[in-house]
Amino acid sequence: MKTFRTGRRAHKAGPKTRAGEAIDLLAPIVGRDAIICDPVELATYECDGLTHFRVRPALAVLVGSSHDVEAVVGTCARLALPFVARGAGTGLSGGAVPDSEGVLLVTSRMRAVLSVQANNQRAVVEPGVTNLEVSKAALPHGLFYAPDPSSQQVCSIGGNVAENSGGAHCLKYGFTTNHVTELEVVTPDGATVKLGGMVGETPGYDLVGAFVGSEGTLGVATKVTVRLLRLPAAVQTVLAAFSDTDSAGRAVSAIIAAGLVPAAIEMMDALAISAAEKAVHCGYPKGAGAVLIVELDGPLAEVEESLLDVNHHCLEQGAFEMRLAVDDADRARIWRGRKSAFAAMGHLSSSYIVQDGVVPRTALPQVLRDIAKLSEETGIRVANVFHAGDGNLHPLVLFDERVAGEEARAEQLSAQILDLCIAHGGSITGEHGVGLDKLTAMSKMFSEDDLATMQLLKAAFDPHRICNPGKAVPTPRLCGEPPRPRRGTQPLQEQGLAELF
Amino acid sequence: MSTLTELEEACPSRVRQGRGLDSIDGVTPGLVASPLGTGEVAAVMRVASSAGLSVVARGAGTKLDWGNPPASADLMVDLSRMSRVIEHEAGDLVARVEAGTSLAQLTEVLGSKGQRFPVDEVVAGSTVGGVVSTGLSGPLRYMYGAVRDLVLGITVVRADGVVAHAGSKVVKNVAGYDLAKLFTGSYGTLGIVTELALKLKPVPVARSFVVAAFPSPRDLTPFLSALLSCQAAPTAIEIERTAPSLPVQMSVLIEGRPRSVELRAAEVATLLGGGEPFVTPPPGWGQLPGPVTLKLTAMLSAVPSLVEQASSIALQLGLPARVTGSAGTGVLFMGLPDRVPAVVLAALVADLRAVCDGLGGHAVVLRAAAALKSQLDPWGPVPGIDLMRRIKESFDPDRRLAPGRFIGGI
């Protein structure tokens, strides 16, 4: 992957004084050991899951409580220092990339499950708790937390709130925003505010709805109340093999149009399957040009009958093999190929770009054909692994950085895929977020007026623009910039007028 | 050029003087414009902006008397002519509609393809825009979420006449701030909603209602908790107590495939000790009690306690209160006669606020005559009010949109 470093210029006289001042102010509150300012130690925090954006923060604070967060943010507000919150650092859009002059606020120590209230179907957790820990805490009560991003073993709830994370099962259950009812947040002026409540509906503006998915640009969540759902009575998982993605795509449309609501419908194409076979030997049907994984859950009778219909629609659209998971181990085997797909790309290519775009479900076959055409024209291979039920594509654009110009062509193809999504009325990101990575694409999907209107919300929360500045929604000042301004130092950065965006 | 002439240019031959019938909770708008399309709304709003007019939007006008009366209404923007279903792609389970589309019309269009927008028509005649602007859900919210969970994309015209979009027409999208959520339930105080992209669901093949009665709210507790943890997956769990000392009726809706519905309804009937399931909804299903209507919320485990305490407060004040709502989500409504004296209503609301506050919820007066509301704050206190004020200030700095109608005088 391409690597780019900035932030080496962080420790200059002016900023350093402010950062130094912040350390002096914060040490008595959070403890000196919670503050990291050694450049070597700080290297850990230079990037999130999207490793080619790297910025070293002036300092990082490992906050342990709401009180710590309040102190850090309040101090930043007083010193006009930018701050960025970071959970587990698994984000894929550069949303947690630090500000070189600012403070990185790391929530990984805030890992308490504060309560599981089975009779209210709620759990209250600190932001550093991992997604899977919430479901684990709920399990003894027969409950679970529905959003299940692929990184659920490591990703944090605070990060899920910031990114409005989904997962394979959001087709039926929705996203983080549909499962958070209350938040305690520290706003960029350093005040702790409660948003929403135990009940899903509270009077006034839907501040929880505005906050979830705002990519950490409106404040820092310090306490999260989530809905827990009853574990389904029955789960059935079926693997359907097709000769090509066209017929698999038509099967998806047929299932949706027939009124079936599976918990998940996932698709992999031939290239993705071959990578998964090499990596984890998942044993998918030989000769498959595409596979669908369809999972149904709910009341037993409902699931049984729906399963017959799913089989029918798949066969009608040309599925040549259907495999039903007979038990949980079998189900895990079916999912293993899908879940290993991203990592498995290493078996096919030295480098790859993970793209994330959304199209209307009915446009899937057409868009997949268009992507194949682009791939043919450029000679750049594209593997497709995605949440087909939602129309959420994850094309993996493969390249070899040792071949001159290939990386640039891969990047271009990756951007063209987003253009296709926009042309079909879709979105430039279904779950990875905008972060730093897709600011330019935002200007293609939304008009300047749209973006300026979004900035009205930002201005209400963060008038001084110190909270994760320059992420998620391009600022009018720089939103007309050419697509790749991060190749070298920006003129504005050079003059010390602006940091990365 | 006069403001009227400018408005007539912006919205040809559809501007007129306001009349008594247009009155919003006693406030008669000076002018009424009925634009056709987002472009005309924007043109009208630009004129309103330069002339400094206060503006109130109207769909079918069924909930205009909710919240506080507006401090002023120089111009009413009537969206009733904007009633097109712009797009319905059944394979995507998504529809795009103009805000003035009625729920009834939408139900008909979607129903022809076996789909629905799973939000109940709680107030007869409501438009999609009105339901979104008030965030009003009914029984189906237990299974499908509140209105805010079903709006994918939104087009609004800002106070200054600028047209803005947020979200999209696909079911999964995290690009940009989710302004659709911010506008849902904002009572027209942030902008005028002109178009919406909605998430749809298939119409279930079969449905069944199981009804059971319980002598008192306390008797409800074990059954409610059993129902919430059973595997019958109900679509809605509603309760009703028609008067303070009468039994509480619980009605459970089961939807799905015929055989499964039969099995699950039988399971629920056994669990509740109810009789034979019904195919048709019980009387009053999903309708708001009134004419004075309060919204009372509590955390799930406290629903029986809320019914109990709300009943006894009403009884002490001698009010024939009717309590209905969703026991599965903790959102209840109380209906009172309109002859309730203002001071008595104020006392009731104060007591109910204390109760709801202790149970993790809120008490809001949704609908009451202006004279009754003048003696109380319909909205009550809420955390985050400072942020809400800042949002209003940012979107509508001159306070021209439905001024004073919303929470905290927003």
For residue B10, what is the domain's CATH number?
Answer: 3.30.43.10
Nearest Cβ partner for A390 among B171, B176, B259: B171
Q: A473-477, long-range: CB within 8 Å, 24+ apart, which pairs?
A: A473/A217, A473/A434, A473/A442, A473/B176, A473/B177, A474/A439, A474/A440, A474/A442, A474/A443, A474/A501, A475/A501, A476/A448, A476/A451, A476/A452
Q: Cβ–Cβ of A301/B203 closer than 8 Å?
A: no
| For range B93-110, the mean pLDDT | 98
From B32, B55, B80, the end of a domain falls on B80
Confidence of residue B362 (pLDDT cuts 50, 70, 90): very high
Q: Cβ–Cβ of B385/A199 closer than 8 Å?
A: no
Q: Is the pLDDT of residue A488 over 50?
A: no
Q: State the CB neighbour count (10 A cutoff) for residue A304.
A: 15
Residues B239 and B157 in one domain: no
Given a contact cutoff of 8 angstroms between Cβ atoms, the answer to whether B402 and B63 are in contact is: no
| For range A278-296, the mean pLDDT | 95
Confidence of residue A52 (pLDDT cuts 50, 70, 90): confident
Q: What is the mean pLDDT of chain B?
A: 96
- B206 vs A: CB within 8 A: no
Q: Cβ–Cβ of B388/A204 closer than 8 Å?
A: yes
Nearest Cβ partner for B257 among A302, A441, A442: A302
Which residues, 6 or more positions from B131, have their beta carbon under 8 angstroms from its beta carbon? Answer: B103, B119, B147
Residues of B in contact with A425 (CB under 8 A): 168-170
Residues of B in contact with A473 (CB under 8 A): 176-177
pLDDT at B113: 94
Nearest alpha carbon to residue B38 among B243, B191, B204: B191
Residues B44 and B96 in one domain: no
SS3 letters for A238-292?
A: EEEEECCHHHHHHHHHHHHHCCCCCCEEEEEEHHHHHHHHHHHCCCCCCCCCEEE
Edge to edge, what strands does the sheet with A83-86 contain?
A35-36, A59-62, A103-106, A83-86
- B94 vs A: CB within 8 A: yes
* The model's pTM: 0.95
Residues B175 and B235 in one domain: no
Residues of B in contact with A472 (CB under 8 A): 176-177
Nearest Cβ partner for A204 among B170, B298, B384: B384
Q: Cβ–Cβ of B172/A390 closer than 8 Å?
A: yes
Strands A103-106 and A59-62: parallel
Residues B221 and B150 in one domain: no
Measure in Å the smallest separation between the Cα of B199 and chain A Cα atoms: 11
Q: Cβ–Cβ of A458/B177 closer than 8 Å?
A: yes
The Cα–Cα gap between B91 and B172 comes to 15
Nearest alpha carbon to residue A442 among B247, B103, B33, B175: B175
Q: Cβ–Cβ of A450/B165 closer than 8 Å?
A: yes
- B284 vs A: CB within 8 A: no
Q: Cβ–Cβ of A425/B90 closer than 8 Å?
A: no
- B46 vs A: CB within 8 A: no
Q: Cβ–Cβ of A358/B90 closer than 8 Å?
A: no
User: Quick check: is B273 in a domain?
Assistant: no
Confidence of residue A477 (pLDDT cuts 50, 70, 90): low
Nearest alpha carbon to residue A353 among A399, A386, A419: A399
Residue of B nearest to A180 (CA): B149
Confidence of residue A475 (pLDDT cuts 50, 70, 90): confident
The structural domain count of chain B equals 3
The Cα–Cα gap between A209 and A182 comes to 10
Report the b/e string of A228-250 with b at 16+ CB within 10 A.
Answer: bbbbbbeebbbbbbbebbbbbbb
CB-neighbour burial class of residue A24 (10 A; exposed 0-12, middle 13-18, buried 19+): exposed
| For range A260-284, the mean pLDDT | 94
| For range B243-251, the mean pLDDT | 95
With residue A333 as reference, give the H or E element that holds it.
helix A328-339
Q: Is the pLDDT of residue A304 over 90?
A: yes
pLDDT at A17: 80
pLDDT at B325: 97
pLDDT at A76: 98
- B296 vs A: CB within 8 A: no
- B91 vs A: CB within 8 A: yes
| Helices and strands: H and E segment counts in chain A | 17, 22
Tokens of A9: 């210029």
- B168 vs A: CB within 8 A: yes
User: Quick check: is B318 in a domain?
Assistant: yes
Number of cross-chain residue pairs from A and B with Cβ atoms under 8 Å apart = 278
Go through the domains of chain A in sequence order and give each one's CATH number: 113-230 (3.30.465.10), 234-423 (3.40.462.10)
Residues B349 and B227 in one domain: yes
Residues of A in contact with B378 (CB under 8 A): none
Q: Is the pLDDT of residue A476 over 90?
A: no
Measure in Å the smallest separation between the Cα of A137 and chain B Cα atoms: 17
Q: Cβ–Cβ of B228/A438 closer than 8 Å?
A: no
User: Quick check: is B332 in a domain?
Assistant: yes
Residues of A in contact with B185 (CB under 8 A): 201, 205-206
User: Quick check: is B396 in a domain?
Assistant: no
pLDDT at A499: 30
Q: What is the mean pLDDT of chain A?
A: 91
Residue of B nearest to A388 (CA): B172
Q: Cβ–Cβ of A425/B168 closer than 8 Å?
A: yes
User: Quick check: is B257 in a domain?
Assistant: no
Nearest alpha carbon to residue B135 among A399, A423, A238, A204: A204
pLDDT at A4: 35
Q: Is the pLDDT of residue A485 over 80?
A: no
DSSP A45-67: GS--SSTT-EE--SEEEE--SHH
Q: State the CB neighbour count (10 A cutoff) for residue B389.
A: 16
CB-neighbour burial class of residue B46 (10 A; exposed 0-12, middle 13-18, buried 19+): middle
Measure in Å the smallest separation between the Cα of A234 and chain B Cα atoms: 9
User: Quick check: is B265 in a domain?
Assistant: no
From B80, B101, B118, the end of a domain falls on B80
Q: Is the pLDDT of residue A483 over 90?
A: no
Nearest Cβ partner for A256 among B93, B168, B395: B93
- B93 vs A: CB within 8 A: yes
From B80, B110, B129, the end of a domain falls on B80
Q: Is the pLDDT of residue A377 over 60?
A: yes
Confidence of residue B275 (pLDDT cuts 50, 70, 90): confident
- B382 vs A: CB within 8 A: yes
CB-neighbour burial class of residue A459 (10 A; exposed 0-12, middle 13-18, buried 19+): middle
Question: Which residues span the domain enclosing B134?
Answer: 85-202
Residues B121 and B38 in one domain: no
Residues B128 and B230 in one domain: no
Residues B231 and B379 in one domain: yes
pLDDT at B241: 97
Mutation target for A interface from B68, B136, B173: give the one with most A CBs within 10 A: B173
The Cα–Cα gap between B50 and B33 comes to 16
User: Quick check: is B260 in a domain?
Assistant: no
Residues B229 and B159 in one domain: no
The Cα–Cα gap between A89 and A92 comes to 9
- B360 vs A: CB within 8 A: yes
Residues of B in contact with A362 (CB under 8 A): 89, 91-92
Confidence of residue A339 (pLDDT cuts 50, 70, 90): confident
Mutation target for A interface from B387, B391, B395, B407: give the one with most A CBs within 10 A: B387
pLDDT at A472: 97
Q: Is the pLDDT of residue A493 over 50?
A: no
Residues B333 and B287 in one domain: yes
- B112 vs A: CB within 8 A: no
Residue of B nearest to A217 (CA): B177
Residues of B in contact with A442 (CB under 8 A): 175-176
A292-302 per-position pLDDT tens digit: 999 999 999 99
The Cα–Cα gap between A50 and A470 comes to 16
Residues B51 and B127 in one domain: no
| For range A337-343, the mean pLDDT | 87
- B171 vs A: CB within 8 A: yes
Q: Is the pLDDT of residue A501 over 60?
A: no
Residues B229 and B357 in one domain: yes
- B270 vs A: CB within 8 A: no
- B163 vs A: CB within 8 A: yes
Residue window 387-406, chain B: list those with CB within 8 Å of chain A. 387-388, 390-391, 393-395, 406
Confidence of residue B387 (pLDDT cuts 50, 70, 90): very high
DSSP B240-262: EESSTTSPEEEEEEEEESHHHHH
Q: Is the pLDDT of residue A6 over 50?
A: no
Nearest Cβ partner for A454 among B179, B360, B406: B179
Confidence of residue A492 (pLDDT cuts 50, 70, 90): very low
More confident residue, A195 or A256: A195
Q: Is the pLDDT of residue B110 over 50?
A: yes
User: Quick check: is B267 in a domain?
Assistant: no
With residue A310 as reference, give the H or E element that holds it.
helix A300-316
A119-150 per-position pLDDT tens digit: 999 999 999 999 999 999 999 999 999 999 98
Q: Is the pLDDT of residue A482 over 70?
A: no
- B72 vs A: CB within 8 A: no
Distance of CA B134 to the CA centre of its chain: 4
